[in-house]
Amino acid sequence: QQQVKQSPQSLIVQKGGISIINCAYENTAFDYFPWYQQFPGKGPALLIAIRPDVSEKKEGRFTISFNKSAKQFSLHIMDSQPGDSATYFCAARPGGTSYGKLTFGQGTILTVHP
Amino acid sequence: ETGVTQSPTHLIKTRGQQVTLRCSSQSGHNTVSWYQQALGQGPQFIFQYYREEENGRGNFPPRFSGLQFPNYSSELNVNALELDDSALYLCASSTRGDSYNEQFFGPGTRLTVL
């Protein structure tokens, strides 16, 4: 019940295209859903995050769509650029006193071709 | 503002040895979380420290232990190293009391156990 399932494992997109990564969860106690971007040899960097009281959040070219009833959320990268090539992780955290206990998905390796 | 720093960058140990990894939290942050990231996987939560006490633990054996110091920096200690302990160890800092408790990751320590 603590798992977060992420798909696809890898994704190849042409420059200017839309990249879409999906995640699903089971634990209804999760109340915070961040996305992280990780480049080789670096730690994950927070990209964008959402709480379940909204269905969508947009920051620049990055949008999270959230479907509470389906227990799914997704990351959309508009106008994908070669510099977006990285591994992306969705994550989830329960509310209450479980501060910081992020559960991560398995990751998606995104390659954007020029 | 100084980000999260970790030391050392890389470390090679042999099975059965003990290792200590260090983390300095981002300026203004009072909470430190440790994660283990095996190759090709998402990070897995080890434990979190707040006010120098362990505050939540993932599914890791007691030979994984930690400390937090008054300046909020932290150490991760692993005893009796096993081959499966080879991974990237990530430290993340955050501010407890912040509504999102957003976590900011360091670059990690790459541990190889031979």
Give chain A positions within 8 Å (CB) of B44.
Answer: 104
If pLDDT is split at 50, 70 and 90, which confidence band does B95 have? confident
Residue B107, preceding peptide bond in cis (omega within 30° of 0): no
Work out the average pLDDT over A41-64.
Answer: 93
Could you report the per-residue pLDDT of B25-74, keeping only the tens digit for each? 988 888 999 999 999 999 999 999 998 999 889 999 999 999 999 999 99
Give chain B positions within 8 Å (CB) of A102.
Answer: 33, 35, 43, 45, 103
In the block, tokens 């408790």 appear at B101
**Residue A87 is which amino acid?**
T
- Closest residue to A49, CB basis, from B90, B92, B102: B102
Phi, psi of B58 (to 5 degrees): -90, -165
d(CA A62, CA A85): 14
| Per-residue pLDDT at B98 exceeds 70 | no
Dihedral of CA B49/B34/B85/A94: which sign?
A: positive
| Per-residue pLDDT at B1 exceeds 60 | no
Decide which of A2 and B107 is more confident.
B107
Question: From the CA of B12, how many Å to the nearest CA of chain A?
Answer: 16
Could you report the per-residue pLDDT of A77-100, keeping only the tens digit for each? 999 999 999 999 999 988 765 566
A54 C-beta neighbours (distance < 10 Å), count:
10
Give the pLDDT confidence score for residue B103 in this predicted structure. Answer: 87
Q: Torsion angle, CA of A29/A31/A32/A35, rounded to 10 degrees?
A: 60
The answer to whether B102 contacts A89, with C-beta atoms less than 8 Å apart, is no
Q: What angle do CA A6, B31, B56 make, to 5 degrees?
A: 65
Quick one: what percent of chain A has pLDDT higher than 90? 79
| Per-residue pLDDT at A101 exceeds 80 | yes
Task: Judge whether A44 and A76 are in contact, CB under 8 Å.
Answer: no
Question: From the CA of B61, how many Å to the nearest CA of chain A?
Answer: 17
- Closest residue to B107, CB basis, from A36, A43, A103: A43
Question: From the CA of B79, how many Å to the nearest CA of chain A?
Answer: 23
Decide which of B2 and B73 is more confident.
B73
The answer to whether A104 contacts B44, with C-beta atoms less than 8 Å apart, is yes
Residue A8, preceding peptide bond in cis (omega within 30° of 0): yes
For chain A, what is the radius of gyration of the CA atoms? 14
Residue of chain A with shortest Cα separation from B93 = A100
Of B77, B42, B73, B40, the residue nearest B61 (C-alpha): B77
H-only helix segments in chain B: none
Strand spans (E) along A8-114 = 10-14, 19-25, 30-38, 45-50, 56-59, 62-67, 72-77, 86-94, 103-104, 108-113
With an 8 Å Cβ cutoff, the interface of chain B facing chain A consists of: 4, 31, 33, 35, 40-45, 48, 50, 55-56, 58, 90, 92, 94, 96, 100-108
